[in-house]
Structure 1
Amino acid sequence: MNLLFAEVKLGERTINWAYNGRLDMHFEGYYHWHQHCEILFIHEGTGSVIVNQQTYEIRSGMLFLFPPYKLHRVYMKAGPENPYIRTSIHFDQDIVMHNLREFPSRQAFFKNLWQGHIGATVFDLSGVMEQIEHCLYSFNKSKATFEDESEEENTFLFLLLLSIIRDADTDGSYNSYSQDIAKPVFYSEMIMRWIEEHFAEEVTLDRIAEYVHLSKFYAARIFRDETGSSIGEYLTVRRIRQACRLLHTTDLSVEQIGIKVGLPSTPYFIQLFKKAIGTTPLKYRKNN
C-alpha cells in the first residue's frame, strides 16, 4: 500500500507546480490526501476520480480542486495512443487568500471553492480549453524565466484561473461538472456510501453484497472495475483516515481509536496504520 498521507513540502514557496506531466501507461493511482489544496487540470486522458464517495468520469478539459486533507484517488486509462497529460498545482491556501486581499470578490469566490463544499469542486472547462491552456503555458514560461518565485506571478495565475472558473460557473453552484460524463449508476458509490455508515463495525463482503443485491463475486469485481481498487483497500483507507482525524481532534487512546474505526486489535491497528501512514499513531499525533 502506498502512503496515504502524501505530504507536499512547499518550503518557502507558495505553490508546487508540475506542468504538462505525461504518462503513457495505465495509472491506477492510490487513495491519498495532502495537507494543502490541490488543483488538477486534465489536458488529455480518460479515467475517473474518486472523492467523497462519488466517482467522476473524466476527460480533457476537466479541473478538480481538492481541499486540504480530502481523500481522493485518480484512476487513468492511459497508453501510448491515449496518454494521460495533466498539470497539478499544490498550494498554501492561506497564503493565496492573503495575496488576494486586494481583490475581494475573487478572494470570496476562492474561499467558497476550498472551504464551502464537501468533496472535490469539479469543473468541465472543455469549452475554454484554449484559454486555460494558454494561462498555464504562460505561467510555466514565466517560471522558467525567473529563478526566484514571484508572489506577483503566483497571484496573477490565481486571478486568471479564478476568472475562468467563475465565468464557467454559470449556475452559481461552484460545480459545473457535466453530468453527461458520468455513468447512470455506479455500484461502487453505493458500496462506498454503505462503508461510510458502517466502517466502524465488523464489515463482511456478505453484508455489502446483500445491500447492493449482487453476488459477492460480482460486487467485488464491479467495485474494482469502477474504481481500480478492492473493497478491502477502500475500507482500510477509510478507517485509517478516520483514525487520523481522531488523533488530531481527540485525546482518545490508540486502543480506543482502533475500536472506534473498526479495528479492535490494537497491535493490528498499529501495524496497519504504520503501513499506510509511515509512522505509528502516537508519533503521528505528536508530529501533527
Structure 2
Amino acid sequence: MFDLAVGNSGLTLDAKMQMGSKVIPFKIPKSSKEFVRFQVDAEKHFYDKLHQHPEWQLTMILEGRGQLMVGDYLGRFEPGDVFLFSANMPHVFRSDPEYFDPQSDKLSLGHTLFFDFEALGKGVWEVTEFFPLQQWLHQTKGCYALEGGIKELVGEQLRVFDSKQGWDRLMATFGILQRLQDSKSLRLLNRLTPLRDFTESEGKRMAQVMSFILAQSHRNVQLQEVADVAIMSKEAFCRFFKERTGKTFTEFLNQIRIQQACQLLLETDLSISQIAFQVGFQNLSYFNRTFRKLGGSTPKEYRIKLLGI
C-alpha cells in the first residue's frame, strides 16, 4: 500500500488538518449502555463524508479500494487493511471513482468494531486490572495501521465477530484490546491530532471542500470553483484552507494527484504521459517535477523500483 503520509514509506503529507470535534458529528446506532458495536458496511462505496464520533473504531477492509483521509494523513486503503482510530478523529474512507459508477459491479465491504468506553462507567477505572487499559487509551491518540501478525490475528477475529454473543462477545472484545495494547506493530499514520474545535458549519464546509477536491482532482480544477463550493471569496478560502491544512490549495491538489499517479504506475501499463494527463496534470514536465519533489524520484524510477520494469 502506497502512502502519501508521515512515516518511513511513501511521500509526505505534512498538512496540519486540525479538524475539531464538530467535523460532521456521526452517531453510531447503539444504546447508551452498549460497550461494543459490530457493524458490517456492505455497499457500492463506503460513507464518503468527513466525519467523527466519540467511539474508538477498529475497521477491516474486506472489499474495496480508495483513499483514507484522517488528520494530516492521506493514503490508500485496500482489502486486508486494518485501521484503528482513537475517539473524535475526523476521517473518511473515500472509495475510488469506479465504486460510484452505477454501471460498475464493484462492491465495498468492511467489518468494524466501535468501542464506547464511556459506557463502562467511571467506576471501572478504579479497578486495578483496568489500569493498563486506561493508560493505553490516554497514550494512544490518532489513526494506526495494523501490521504483521497483529493484523492477521485481529483480522481473523473481525471476520467471525458477528457469530459471538453475550459473554463470548465481551471476552472477544477484551481479547482484541489486549492484543492491541501489547502489539508493537501499530503504525501511526497521522502526525498531528486536532488542536482546537471549529464550529459545526466550519466542519461541514471543510468536508464539502475535501469531497469536491477528491472527486474532481482528475481535471483542471480552478481555485474559484473550490471557493464557490465553500461559499467564500478566493482570498477568504485560501486563508481558510491554509489554516486547516497547512497547505495551499494547489499543494494539496498536487499531492492527491501524485498519489493517484503512483497507484496507476503500479496497477496499469499506461505510459507516464497518459498517467500524468489522466490524474489532472496539463503539462508532462510539471508532472515529473512535482513527482520528484514529493516522492524523491521520477515516475519511471518509481515504477522500476517497485515493479522491476
Alignment TM-score, normalising by the size of structure 2 = 0.46
Larger relative CO (CA 8 A, sep 6+): 1 or 2? 2
